[in-house]
Chains A and B, each alone.
Chain A
Amino acid sequence: MRIIEGEEIYKLVKKLIEDANFDLPLSILNALKRAKEEEENPNAKIVLDILIKNAEIAKEKRIPICQDCGMVIIFLEKGEEVCIKGPLEEYLKKAVREAYLENFLRSSVVKDPLLRENTNDNTPPIIHWEIMPGDKIKISVMIKGFGSENASTVKMLNPTLEKEEIVREVINHVKEYGPNACPPLIIGLGIGGTMEKAIYLSKKAIFRDLYERNKKPHLRELEEEILDKVNSLNIGPGGLGGKTTALDVRIEDYPTHIAGLPLAINLQCCAIRFKEIEI
């Protein structure tokens, strides 16, 4: 059995949180540059130009990409043959606390959803566990702002729905909630499973490489169709018009019940902040 010290996980997670807040993934930055070249809408060009400069300033001067430094979501995929010496939850909290306080990141978490007193260090994070074969651990960190979190949803659809109706559900949702979710978006769709499984899949879809399509041909087609349709809505960057409403659409699926068709729609805003590492 391989043993990993919690201390080591804490250091890695802290670094991932810091990098995510200041450093837009290169593939995304390049996609913004390409979109700027391809856009004809003058508003879209202005917004994309500013978003590109924003990423450069954030990285160079260490100013957070967005003032909403979000809630921290940590996905841990742990191999069956590796053991972590805890208390892990405490180590993860410490990583968040130190990353936020030492780097002048905004604390946006409140202790109680109704009493709403700020925890002042952005703890606690949201932690998800998965078990996988082997002796590795994969740690993925996502910083999620609430402008786009509030624009996400899950729908429990009728299992007899035609494919076209699923497309329509997504398009109508993006039409209503996309403009306020700081586009260009990445749209993560979780289809199947149970309610929470669909949501989980829609979140994990954000980690997929840009333009990497689902392996199943019918889902791949669905991804492409939705991307096309979303980009003809003329929502555009910043919601000010143009054809770059979404950079990508990703579908993750799971077996489901004969009576159900859960569909989770996760809108990821242009402040795409995630980092991952496998040890």
Chain B
Amino acid sequence: MRKIELPLKEDDILSLKVGEWVELSGPCYSARDSAHKRIFEALEKGERLPINLKGSTIYYMGPTPTPPGRVIGSCGPTTSKRMDPFTPRFLSFGVKGFIGKGKRGKEVREAIEKFKGIYFVTIGGAGAYLSEKIKDMKLVAYEDLGPEAIYYLELYRFPVMVAIDSYGEDFFNK
């Protein structure tokens, strides 16, 4: 598998094609339903955000509590579709990559093509395996949301497949 560094570089994004498997290494943020809602509300109100969206990659994931001596608990992807209403706006604010599972709506596909972003899928039900592919984790914001809080994650050779590439080609809609 080809290795790709995060944050994503424009050249890498443009060279990645739908269906290709790669290993991602580097920083990203976790965010799922409630965190999306809060970021969105902050954007609407023009408030300062707890993370810098520009150039970032977001992983749709809410981990199990971290057991002693481990970096993170079980941490597989959640269904991406529920985040669809927020995604085009996130892209317009500079988010480049998304990691989740399952197909996305047409608006997301079009926005990914327009803003030259990329959508990766990883494997649902593989949370224990994926916990070994994360080298660091820190709480960043919204602690009260528990597993739905935003975490900084340092991926290391984290396996994903390109599901929507920057040309708008969609694995699930061929």
Contacts and interface: CB of A to CB of B under 8 A. Distances in A.
Interface string B65-109: 111001001111011010000000000000000000111000000
Contacts of A270: 124-125
Given A63-B73, A67-B73, A182 B125 contact: yes
A179 B102 contact: yes
Interface in A232-279: 238-240, 269-271
A69 B131 CA distance: 15
A182 B67 CA distance: 25
B63 A106 contact: yes
Given A179-B103, A180-B79, A106 B62 contact: yes
A106 B121 contact: no
A144 to B, nearest CB: 13
Contact of A51 (B78, B102, B121, B126): B126
Contacts of B124: 66, 147, 182, 238, 269-270
A64 B70 CA distance: 13
A68 interface: yes
Interface residues of A, number: 37
Contacts of A55: 128
B52 interface: no
A179 B127 CA distance: 18
Given A46-B21, A106-B62, A147-B78, A269 B125 contact: yes
B64 A105 contact: yes
Interface string A68-97: 110000000000000000000000000000
B155 interface: no
Contact of A106 (B64, B123, B159): B64
B79 A64 contact: no
Contacts of B123: 47, 50-51, 54, 238
Nearest to B68: A104
A269 B124 CA distance: 9
Given A46-B21, A104-B73, A179-B172, A64 B125 contact: no
Interface residues of B, number: 37
A61 B64 CA distance: 14
Given A63-B127, A271-B125, A180 B103 contact: yes
A50 B159 contact: yes
A50 B63 CA distance: 18
A51 B76 CA distance: 11
B153 interface: no
Interface string B116-132: 00000101111111111
B128 A63 contact: yes
A58 interface: yes
Contacts of B19: 43
B127 A66 contact: yes
A108 B74 CA distance: 14
Contacts of A69: 64, 74
A34 interface: no
Interface of B: 19, 21, 61-67, 70, 73-76, 78-79, 81, 101-103, 121, 123-132, 146-147, 159, 161, 171-172
Given A50-B159, A51-B125, 18 more contacts: A53-B129, A54-B127, A54-B130, A58-B74, A63-B73, A63-B131, A64-B127, A66-B124, A67-B64, A67-B74, A67-B147, A68-B76, A104-B65, A106-B64, A108-B147, A180-B102, A239-B101, A269-B125
8 contacts: A57-B131, A61-B70, A63-B73, A63-B74, A64-B64, A65-B125, A180-B79, A240-B121
